[in-house]
Amino acid sequence: QVIKCKAAVLWELNKPFSIEEVEVAPPKAQEVRIKILASGICRSDDHAINGALVMPFPIILGHEAAGVVESVGEGVTSVQPGDKVIPLFVPQCGECRSCKSTKGNLCAKSDIGAPSGLMADGTTRFTCKGKAIHHFIGTSTFTEYTVVHETAVAKIPAAAPLEKVCLIGCGFSTGYGAAVQTAKVEPGSTCAVFGLGGVGLSVIMGCKAAGASRIIAVDINKDKFAKAKELGATDCVNPKDFTKPIHEVLIEMTGLGVDYSFEVIGYTETMAAALASCHFNYGVSIIVGVPPAAKKITFDPMLLFSGRTWKGSVFGGWKSKDAVPKLVADYMEKKFVLDPLITHTLPFDKINEGFDLLRKGK
């Protein structure tokens, strides 16, 4: 059956969401239809609104969520109606080179590189006012019902609190994994984290869990510092308090730079600063924030020649279908906290207010 439900449709760039009635088609073969019960707001959604992340319009955004399987298409075996699940914006097909490699996690089936906004068969499952509406990175969670491919959904324990574990669908896993999976931070190391939103705070938790001895939190919004310290930051630095470049400040604080730096904002200027702030010979800098589409970076190649490593990390380097159920189980065993990452809880029709809070750094 086609389901009619509410969704937040984005008709064009730089406009507010419009709460509309949409029709959600039934799942085709190998697809799953999910009733979304909780969705986080992530900066990447905002990047799509303002064009920094180029997407086809009209579109239903949202990619950090949890819900319950409503129905499954032909041939689906990993989940069944009634299962609690988290949609995965990085799928895990198990067959492509990245999925088969122990070194990779960015499945070839993902819709991230050159997004089509469509399902695998080249069509969409959403219609509104007679128009086809695009999907967002294979998930689209700002709607009461969505359809995803079976490779893009993970079954989680029935007892999991969906309004908390939805964060494991993106923000928490992305940040925590950047530290423990991508960087593989070692005990006793020094780290710097640029950007203290939900993902940056999750990086701090990962660095702390890995045993880092010093975690320097960097942000121009000092209101973020108390929570960063609560979650493990040992120092908080506001670049606005200094006349010299922030990488020079960090090098002075640590002697020769940090062992690991993380850019969790998505600005090319801070990516270059994070690289320059890690140790000249063996420092590793990880790009976690989504880079803006039209920007390029110019940097001194001597920064890399001397031995530094510059890496990117998508979804924290986790193989999604394998890792998400384990991360949810770890959360339920109190191995990490999620509550401090949740600042506000709003009803779905207040989604535009939620984005206003995000943009104000609240």
Write out pLDDT tens, residues 262-291: 999 999 999 999 999 999 999 999 999 988
Burial 298-318 (b: 16+ CB within 10 A, else e): eeeeebeeeebebeebbbbbb
Q: How does pLDDT run across 206-238, given as a tens digit for each residue?
A: 999 999 999 999 999 999 999 999 999 999 999
Provide the pairing of β-strand 31-39 with 309-312: unpaired
The rounded mean pLDDT for the chain is 97
pLDDT given at position 350: 98
Report whether pLDDT(295) > 90: no
pLDDT-based confidence at residue 294 (cuts at 50, 70, 90):
confident
Catalytic residue among 39, 63, 71, 278: 63
Please tell me the number of Cα atoms within 13 Å of 310 on its side-chain side.
19
Give Cα 232 distance to the centre of its chain: 20
At residue 113 the predicted structure's pLDDT band, cuts being 50, 70 and 90, is: confident
CATH topology assigned to domain 3-171+317-360: Quinone Oxidoreductase; Chain A, domain 1 (3.90.180)
Q: What is the pLDDT of residue 292?
A: 84
pLDDT the model gives residue 191: 98
> For a pLDDT cut of 90, what percent of the chain falls above it?
96
| Residue 104 CA: distances (Å) to CA of 108, 183, 262, 314, 316 | 11, 13, 19, 10, 11
Look up the CATH architecture of domain 183-312: 3-Layer(aba) Sandwich (3.40)
CATH 3.40.50.720 in the chain, residue ranges: 183-312
Q: Find, among 174, 182, 169, the residue nearest to 103 by Cα.
A: 182
99, 166, 170, 191: the catalytic one is 170
Is 63 marked active-site?
yes
Question: Concatenated DSSP letters for 46-108?
Answer: HHHHHTSS---SSB-----EEEEEEEE-TT--S--TT-EEEE-SS---SSSHHHHSTT----T
Delimiting residues of CATH 3.90.180.10 domain(s) in the chain: 3-171+317-360
Could you tell me the two tokens for 221?
């919004």
pLDDT-derived band of residue 114, with 50, 70 and 90 as boundaries?
confident
- 306 catalytic residue (yes or no): no
84 — phi, psi (to 5°)?
-80, 135
Question: Whose structure tokens read 């709460």?
Answer: 19
> pLDDT digit string (tens) for 296-328?
999 999 999 999 999 999 999 999 999 999 999
| pLDDT score recorded for residue 45 | 96
- Catalytic residue status for 47: yes
Active-site choice (39, 47, 134, 279): 47
Please report how many Cα atoms fall inside a 13 Å half-sphere around the Cα of residue 50, on the Cβ side. 9
Q: Tell me the pLDDT tens digit for each residue of 145-201.
A: 999 999 999 999 999 999 999 999 999 999 999 999 999 999 999 999 999 999 999
pLDDT score for 262: 98
Cβ atoms of 317 and 178 closer than 8 Å: yes
Quick one: tokens of 30? Answer: 């190998």
pLDDT-derived band at 101, boundaries 50, 70, 90: very high
